[in-house]
Amino acid sequence: MNKKVILIGHFGVGKTSLVKRFVHSQFSEEYITTIGVKIDKKTLTVDGVIVNLLIWDIAGENSQQKVPKSYRLGAHGALYVFDITRPATYENMHQEIKALQEVMPDLPILVMANKKDLVSTEELNETLSKIQPYNAIATSAKTGELVNEAFEELTQKMTK
């Protein structure tokens, strides 16, 4: 079964690095901004079901309203990524997720708090409490921590 996953979030939060870590098990410190959209594919087996994930890594924008609507259409799941070290990347998260849910009411959405390797446990907990009621998975594209788990959790939600 094929599923379309979209990655959204501000620029520089690490969307492309998360995809690179998940699909190719690689990480690079170099920052290359995504132009438009980049599509990758990865096959997962979840609960005995083979799922082809078509991952649309959408170019980051300060506001998600600037992202072409058509990139989001037909998505089966979404990953909202923010950078733990930059409050500006999660300050408007509630409104942006709400706007997405208005267009696609049943869309499973998972929040990823990325760049965990750059903060202490206290700083992480403080940030996570700020984004309540959303529960984010704290990931690090650099170390690979919880990256696969996040994609797998979303896949499980999509196949239910």
Which stretches of the chain bind other proteins, using CB under 8 A?
Answer: 2, 4, 36-37, 39-41, 52, 54, 56, 68-71, 73-76
Nearer to other proteins, 107 or 119 (CB): 107
String of DSSP letters for the chain? -EEEEEEE-STTSSHHHHHHHHHH----S---PPPSEEEEEEEEEETTEEEEEEEEEEPP-SSGGGS-HHHHTT-SEEEEEEETT-GGGTTTHHHHHHHHHHHSTT--EEEEEE-GGGS-HHHHHHHHHHTTTSPEEE--TTT-TTHHHHHHHHHHHHH-
Nearer Cβ to other proteins (1/118): 1
Identify which of residues 78 and 93 has a Cβ nearer to other proteins in the complex: 78
Report, in Å, the least distance between residue 71 CB and other proteins.
6
**To the nearest whole angstrom, how small is the minimum distance from the Cβ of residue 78 to other proteins?**
13
Q: Measured from the CB of residue 156, what is the shortest distance to other proteins in angstroms? A: 19
